[in-house]
Amino acid sequence: MSQSSKGFTLGFLTGAVVGSVVALLYAPESGSKLRGQVSYRVSSYKDDVNKLIRQLKAEKEKISSEAKKQGDDVVTDAKKRADDLIKEAEALLSNIEKGKIKNGN
């Protein structure tokens, strides 16, 4: 999880808690009505947090997928370069062997 995502999540949760506490302290409501409101707010916050978690997981999977593709591309490129170097080395050895034969060695 990126640093900004962690900071956003922490800020979101802190704001939700502080807002709820302030609402409780200044609410001129009866106990049962206040409990109903608190229950509704908690449920709403829970839904928001679950949505945020799903978004963060999707972002993490996207980043992981991109990193895997880039890693695969690097491996493919390295294999191609290694094959090219092997072919060049084989051609060089072949030319050296031909030169030895021509020189009678």
**Residues 6 or more apart whose Cβ sits within 8 Å of residue 5:** 56, 59
Higher pLDDT, 89 or 6: 89
Number of domains forming the structure of the chain: 1
d(CA 26, CA 16): 16
Confirm whether pTM is higher than 0.85: no
d(CA 94, CA 22): 84
The overall average pLDDT reported for the chain is 81
What is the band of 104 on the pLDDT scale with cuts at 50, 70, 90? low
Tally Cβ neighbours within 10 Å of residue 81: 10
- Which residue range(s) make up the domain with 17? 3-102
Q: Supply the Cα-derived Rg of the chain in whole angstroms.
A: 33
Question: pLDDT tens digits for 2-49?
Answer: 667 777 877 888 888 888 777 777 766 677 777 777 778 888 888 888
Positive or negative, the CA dihedral 22, 25, 28, 34 is: positive
